[in-house]
Structure 1
Amino acid sequence: MIKDVRSYIHTVGNRLSKAFSMEAFGTEQQLEFWELSAEHLSRKRSPSFSDIVNWMDLLYRAPVHFVYRLQDGKLVLDRRHVLTKNILRDAGNELEPHKQTPQQKEYLKDFEYQLQNLEKKMSMDEVFKEQGITSHSIGQCEHIPLFKKDGEQWGIYCAGPYTKSPDQITPKLSIVGRLLANWLITLDEEESNPQREYEQKIENVVSDLGSGQLNTEGIAQIILRYVVHGRKVASGCIVEFTPNGHKLLVSVGMKEKLAGYFTAGADKALYENKGGELKVTEFGQEFLKQWGKQVDVEYFTGEHHSGFLMVEKTEGSGKLDIENLLKEVGLSFANLFDYRHKNENFSDQLMDGYYKMLRAIEKSREKTRFHTPRMVAFVQRFGMFFGLEDDEMEIITKTAKLHDIGYVGAISIEPGKTIGGELSHPIIGANMVEHLSIDKDVLEGIRTHHEWVNGNGSPSGLNSETIPWTGKIIGLFEFVVDFVESNAGDDSKTNDEWLELLSRNLMERADIEFDMVLIPTAIQLLQALGWQECVRLGVEE
C-alpha cells in the first residue's frame, strides 16, 4: 500500500515525498487517512463521492462536504453530502437529540440555518486561487482549492461548518488538494450528471412503484374527439355531477358561452341528476328550444359518480347510429369514474401512510417535532389572507402536508438521513407520488419547494418563471417555520423583536429566494398572529 502512495508522489514531484512519510503522523486516524488514499490510488476505478467524503471525514469530522465547480467565472455547487452523525459530537460519540447543551443547540441552529440557505452559485474570489486552505462566509467552512494538472483552477472542496484542519495536516493541504482534484476531475469525466449515482438509487426504488394514475380528462378528450370528428357531429361535451355541482370535464367544438352553462349554478343548469335519472331543467327546456339545435344526450352512472355526454348533431350525423355509440361510451365512462374513485381512495390511504412515517421521523427530533403540522397551519392561514379559492386551498394544504415525504424514501435508500440533512428529498418525494392520483400542482410543489426565484436553489436551479405557485408558497413558509422552530423558547429577544427579525429576513430574501408578490401578505399574517401564536401553531395536531 505504501508503494502506491510513493508511486503517486513521483508523479507530482520528488519534492513532495517527505510530506507522505508515515512517521510524520502520530495517530492511527491519520495513518488510516493516508492508507485510504493509497487504496483509492491503487483502484482501477475512481472513488465515488461518498468514498471521498468518508476519506475527508477522517480529517474534519464535518457534517457538510460540498464541491463548487468553476464555470464561467462563477463557483457553481456541483456535489454535496451530509454526514448527520457529525452534526453533534461529544468526544467522538453521537448524542441523543434531546440531551444537548445550550452551546450545542446554538451550534445546531446555526448549522441548519446555513444548510437551509446554501447557495447554488457564488462569485469567484481571488482568495480561492491561493494554494492551501481558505475560508468563506458560508458557514465558516474550510475550502481547499482544486487545480487541474496544468495549474488551472477547477473548483474548491468545502467542509464545514466551523471546522479547522489538524495542525499536522495544514502543511500538507496542497497534497490533499491534489489528491481531491485528481479524484473529482476523473469522477466528473466519468459521470455526465454529478448526481447520477444517487439519483440512480432513487430511480431503482421508485421505478418499481408502478403507475396507478389515469388522466380522466385526457381519456375523455380522446373519446369525445372521436365521437365529434368520427361521427361528424358539430360539437360535444362531457359533464360530471359532483357534490359541488356540475363539472365540465371536456368540450369539443362548443362555444365558450354555451360550455359555461354546464358549470353554471343550479338555477341555470341545463340538466340535473334527479333520483338517479337525467332530467332537463325548466331553464334547460327553454334554452334548448331557443337554441334550436338537435342534441343527443346519454346519461351514465357508476357506483359513486354520474354524468352525461351531449352532442350537437348535424344533418350528416343524423343518419349514423349515434345513440348506440353514446351508450357504449357512457358505459366506458361509468367504469372509468368508478376506477378513478377507487384509485383516489387508495392514493389517499397510501399518502396518509407516507405522512405517518414522516411524522415518526419528525418526532425523533425536538426541533422538528411539529414541523409538518406547523407548515399546514401556516399555509392555510396564508391562503385565507391571500384570497386563495377553495380548490387552491385544498391543493396548498395537501402540498404542505406532503412536501417533506421524500425523507421517507431517503431513509429507505440510505439509512441515517434526517430532516434537514437530505438535500435530494424534493425529487424523491415527487417521484414517490407522481404515479398516484394527485393534483399536478401538489406534485410540482413537492418537487420545487427548495428552488429560489433567482435560480440559486435546489435541486434543479429553477428560476421564478418555472417555479409553480405551490413551490413558491411552501418554500417561503419552510423558511418561516424553520425560523420559528430554531428560536422557539429563546428569551434573548422580545416577541416583537423576533417578529421584526423574521420580517426583515423575508424582505432581504425578496426576489432572491422568495417571490416578492408573496412577502407583504406573509408579513401581514405574521403580524396578525404574533410571535407566541406562531410558536403555538401546529403543536396541537
Structure 2
Amino acid sequence: MIKDVKTYIHTVGNRLSKAFSIEEFGLEEQLDFWELSAEHVSRKETPSFTDIVSWMDMLYRAPVHFVYQLEDEKLVLSRRHVITENLLNTQAGRRTASGSQSVQEKELLQNFEHQLQNLEKKMSMDEVFREHGITAHSIGQCEHIPLFDNDGDLWGIYCAGPYIKSPEQITPKLSIVGRLLSRWLISLDEEEDKPQKDYESRIEEVTANLGSGKLNTEALMQLNLKYLLNSVKADSGCVFEFMGGGHKVLASSGFSEDELAEFTQVENVLVQEATDKVKVTEAGRKWFEARGENPDVLYFKGEHHSGFILLFNSADTPRFKVSDILDDIRNSFASILDYRYQNEKFSEKLTHVYYTMLRAIERSRSKTIHHTPRMIAFVERFGLLFGLEDEEMARIKRTAKLHDIGYVGASSIESGKSIGGELTHPLIGANMVEQLAVHPDITEGIKTHHEWVNGNGTPGGLKAEEIPWSGKIIGVFEYVVDFVETHKDDDSKSGDEWIEALSKGIMERADVEFDMVLIPTVIQLIQALGWEGCVNLGVD
C-alpha cells in the first residue's frame, strides 16, 4: 500500500521539524516526556487513551487528539480527546482572574465543539498521504504520526491539532514515539474490543429474552388460515381485524393484490361487529352477490381486539373434521392479536424508559438540555411540509425520540472508546429496540442517522439509497439541531445572518452528507421559523 515507508517517515519528520517548533521544550521537558513514557512501558497494563493523550500533549499542547484506524482501504475515526484548556490558552487569550470561563471563551468552546461534530468520520488513504504528514480537517490543519502493526503494515494514524507546534528536539525521535503509540493503541483496541462485544452480547441476550418483539403475528395468522382453508376445502379466505369503524386485512390466501385492494375500496364495510357477533352489512351483501359469493363468516374476539374470517366456496364435505376445535382455532386468532397488543404496550413503556434515561444524560449538559425534544419538534414540522403520511409521521417522530438511546447503553461500557458515542451509539441503540415491537423504519433510522450519502458516514459506510429515509431525515436534523445548540446564545450575528449561515452549511453538505431531495424543504422550514423560532422550538 505504501511503496516506501522509510521515505514517508522521513518526509513526515522533515515537515514536522520545519513547520513548527516549541520554543520552551528544553532538556527538562524532554526528560519528563521520556520519563513518563518509560513509566507507561514498565507497567503491566496498557495505558488508557486519556493517559496516552496526556503523554503526547506534553509535545503538542493541542486542543484535540484523535486516532484514525485503517479499515477496508479507509481511515475511520476511532478515538477522540478534547483538551479545552489548550484551546483557551492558545486561542482565547488570558484566562479570567477567577478562573471561570468568560462569555468569549464559552463561545469559542461552543464553536470548536460544533466544528468537531463535522470532523471527518472516514478519509481515503490518498487524501491523507498526499499531504505527507499534515492533514487538512474541518477543524484546521493537523499533524499526524503513522501507526504500524507488528508486521509493518499501516494500522492507522495519530493526529493532533489544529495549528499546533512540534518541538524540533523530538523530531529525530518521532519513529520511537510512533512505535510506542502503535504498541499502546493496538493493545488498547484489542483489550477494549472484548468488553464492547461482551456488552453487545449482554444487550442481545436481554432483549432476545423479551421474545415477543420477534413474533411474526402475520405469519402465524397465515399459517392458521391455510390450515383452516385446507381442512374445509375452501378456495380462498381472508382474516380481518376490526379497527376504526372499518376492517383491515391481516392475512389472506387465494387472492391477488388487486382483489385484496377491493376489500378496502368498498364504500361501506362488508361486515359489522355487534354484541359478541358479526353480521354482513347491506353493502357487503350486495358486494358478495355481485361476485357470486356467499362466504362463511367466523367471528373472533380477544381482550383488546376482534375480527373475523371469511372462507369462500367451502366444500360440503370437509377434508377432516374441525368442528370440535373450531372455537380453539378462532380463539387462536384472538390470542395472536392480544399478544401483539400486549407486546406493543410493553415496547412503548420500555422505549419510553429508555427515553427518560437519555433525557437525564442530555440534561447534564447545558448544550444538549433540549436536544431530543428539539429533534422531535423539527422532524414533525418537516413532515408536515414534506407531506409525510400519518403513519410515516408517527414513525419519524418516534425515530427522533429514540435516535440517541444508544448513549444509554454506551454509558454502561466503562472501558468504551472515548468516541464510542459517535461510532457505536447508533448500533447499540438499534440493538436495544430490535427485539421489540418497533417498526423497521424506526430501527433502521436509529442505526443509520450518522451515515452520509457519499458513503463516508458511520457505522456502515452506506451510500445514497442504501440509507433508509428515516435515517436521512434524522441525520440532517442532527446537524440543524447541533448548529442551533451551538449558536443559540451567540449575539455576534443577527438572526437572519444565523439562518443564512445554517442554510449555507446545509447546502454545502448536500449530496455529500445529506440527500439533496430533503434540502429544499429543510431550508424552507428553518427560514419560515426564523432564528428565534429555531432556538425556541422543542424547548420543554
Q: Normalised by the size of structure 1, how large is the TM-score?
A: 0.82
d(CA) in 2 for partners of 1:416, 1:364: 19
Aligned to 1:423, the other structure's residue is in SS state helix
d(CA) in 2 for partners of 1:357, 1:216: 30
**77, 80, 85: which is aligned to 2:78?**
80
**21, 35, 39: which is aligned to 1:31?**
35
Q: Which runs of 5+ in 2 are unaligned?
A: 1-26, 90-99
**Cα distance per residue 1:228-280 (max 9 Å; x no partner):** 45654322211111236322112222133432244346x33211223342111
- Which residue of 2 is the match for residue 398 of structure 1? 398
Q: Do residues 250 (structure 1) and 247 (structure 2) align?
A: no
Using the TM superposition, give the Cα deviation of residue 453 of structure 1 relative to its aligned residue in structure 2, in angstroms: 1.1
In the TM superposition, 1:147-226 aligns within 5 A as 147=148, 155-160=156-161, 164=165, 169-182=170-183, 198-209=196-207, 210-211=209-210, 212-213=212-213, 214-226=215-227
Aligned to 2:423, the other structure's residue is in SS state coil
Give the letter for the 2:205 counterpart.
Answer: S
- Asked if structure 2 preserves the Cα contact closer than 8 Å seen for 1:303 and 1:338, the reply is yes
Q: 1:410 to 1:533 in 2, by over 3 A?
A: same
Q: Do residues 332 (structure 1) and 336 (structure 2) align?
A: no
**Cα distance per residue 1:305-332 (max 9 Å; x no partner):** 1111222235487454455555322201
Q: 1:294 to 1:321 in 2, by over 3 A?
A: farther
- Which residue of 2 is the match for residue 412 of structure 1? 412
d(CA) in 2 for partners of 1:177, 1:446: 37
Q: 1:195 to 1:479 in 2, by over 3 A?
A: farther
Q: 1:253 to 1:373 in 2, by over 3 A?
A: same
In the TM superposition, 1:526-541 aligns within 5 A as 526-539=526-539, 541=540
- Which residue of 2 is the match for residue 3 of structure 1? none
Q: 1:106 to 1:464 in 2, by over 3 A?
A: same
Q: Do residues 469 (structure 1) and 469 (structure 2) align?
A: yes
Using the TM superposition, give the Cα deviation of residue 511 of structure 1 relative to its aligned residue in structure 2, in angstroms: 1.3
RMSD over equivalenced CA pairs, Å: 3.4
d(CA) in 2 for partners of 1:325, 1:302: 17
- Which residue of 2 is the match for residue 486 of structure 1? 486
Q: Which moved more, 1:333-342 or 1:26-35?
A: 26-35
Q: Which moved more, 1:368-377 or 1:111-120?
A: 111-120
d(CA) in 2 for partners of 1:401, 1:310: 40
- Which residue of 2 is the match for residue 103 of structure 1? 105
d(CA) in 2 for partners of 1:230, 1:315: 10
- Which residue of 2 is the match for residue 59 of structure 1? 56
Q: 1:406 to 1:394 in 2, by over 3 A?
A: same
Give the letter for the 2:227 counterpart.
Answer: Y
Aligned to 1:437, the other structure's residue is in SS state coil
d(CA) in 2 for partners of 1:400, 1:418: 24
Aligned to 1:517, the other structure's residue is in SS state coil
Q: 1:100 to 1:195 in 2, by over 3 A?
A: farther
d(CA) in 1 for partners of 2:352, 2:530: 31
- Asked if structure 1 preserves the Cα contact closer than 8 Å seen for 2:68 and 2:78, the reply is yes
- Asked if structure 1 preserves the Cα contact closer than 8 Å seen for 2:293 and 2:312, the reply is yes
- Which residue of 2 is the match for residue 455 of structure 1? 455
d(CA) in 1 for partners of 2:470, 2:320: 47
- Asked if structure 2 preserves the Cα contact closer than 8 Å seen for 1:410 and 1:422, the reply is no
Aligned to 1:124, the other structure's residue is in SS state helix
**Cα distance per residue 1:9-55 (max 9 Å; x no partner):** xxxxxxxxxxxxxx875665652233213446xx8xxx5xx845632
Q: Percent same amino acid at aligned positions?
A: 46
- Which residue of 1 is the match for residue 122 of structure 2? 120
- Asked if structure 1 preserves the Cα contact closer than 8 Å seen for 2:300 and 2:307, the reply is yes
Q: Which runs of 5+ in 1 are unaligned?
A: 1-22, 92-97
d(CA) in 1 for partners of 2:131, 2:504: 35
Q: 1:379 to 1:337 in 2, by over 3 A?
A: same
**Cα distance per residue 1:429-472 (max 9 Å; x no partner):** 11111122111111111111111111110111111222111111
Using the TM superposition, give the Cα deviation of residue 199 of structure 1 relative to its aligned residue in structure 2, in angstroms: 3.6
d(CA) in 1 for partners of 2:459, 2:505: 23
d(CA) in 2 for partners of 1:356, 1:305: 30
Give the letter for the 2:104 counterpart.
Answer: P
Give the letter for the 2:52 counterpart.
Answer: W
- Asked if structure 2 preserves the Cα contact closer than 8 Å seen for 1:503 and 1:523, the reply is yes
Q: 1:82 to 1:207 in 2, by over 3 A?
A: farther
- Which residue of 2 is the match for residue 235 of structure 1? 236
d(CA) in 2 for partners of 1:80, 1:53: 14
Q: 1:280 to 1:245 in 2, by over 3 A?
A: same
Q: Which moved more, 1:109-118 or 1:458-467?
A: 109-118
Q: 1:161 to 1:68 in 2, by over 3 A?
A: farther
Give the letter for the 1:345 counterpart.
Answer: K
d(CA) in 2 for partners of 1:439, 1:52: 38
Aligned to 2:112, the other structure's residue is in SS state helix
- Which residue of 2 is the match for residue 363 of structure 1? 363
d(CA) in 1 for partners of 2:421, 2:445: 20
Give the letter for the 2:235 counterpart.
Answer: A
Larger relative contact order (CA 8 Å, sep ≥ 6): 2
Aligned to 2:273, the other structure's residue is in SS state strand
Aligned to 2:412, the other structure's residue is in SS state helix
Using the TM superposition, give the Cα deviation of residue 407 of structure 1 relative to its aligned residue in structure 2, in angstroms: 0.9
Give the letter for the 2:201 counterpart.
Answer: E
- Asked if structure 2 preserves the Cα contact closer than 8 Å seen for 1:405 and 1:429, the reply is yes
- Which residue of 2 is the match for residue 18 of structure 1? none
- Asked if structure 2 preserves the Cα contact closer than 8 Å seen for 1:372 and 1:400, the reply is yes
- Asked if structure 2 preserves the Cα contact closer than 8 Å seen for 1:247 and 1:263, the reply is yes
Using the TM superposition, give the Cα deviation of residue 493 of structure 1 relative to its aligned residue in structure 2, in angstroms: 1.8
- Asked if structure 2 preserves the Cα contact closer than 8 Å seen for 1:135 and 1:143, the reply is yes
- Asked if structure 1 preserves the Cα contact closer than 8 Å seen for 2:48 and 2:188, the reply is no
d(CA) in 2 for partners of 1:521, 1:87: 36
Q: Do residues 297 (structure 1) and 301 (structure 2) align?
A: no
- Asked if structure 2 preserves the Cα contact closer than 8 Å seen for 1:294 and 1:314, the reply is no
d(CA) in 1 for partners of 2:352, 2:439: 15
Give the letter for the 1:35 counterpart.
Answer: E
State how many pairs are aligned. Answer: 497
Aligned to 1:530, the other structure's residue is in SS state helix
Q: Which moved more, 1:222-231 or 1:212-221?
A: 222-231
Q: Which moved more, 1:244-253 or 1:156-165?
A: 156-165
In the TM superposition, 1:485-524 aligns within 5 A as 485-524=485-524
d(CA) in 1 for partners of 2:39, 2:462: 41
**Cα distance per residue 1:136-159 (max 9 Å; x no partner):** 324343311235678765542224
**Cα distance per residue 1:385-432 (max 9 Å; x no partner):** 011111111001100111111111111223899999543111111111
Q: Normalised by the size of structure 2, how large is the TM-score?
A: 0.82
d(CA) in 1 for partners of 2:342, 2:224: 22
Give the letter for the 1:32 counterpart.
Answer: L
d(CA) in 2 for partners of 1:426, 1:480: 18
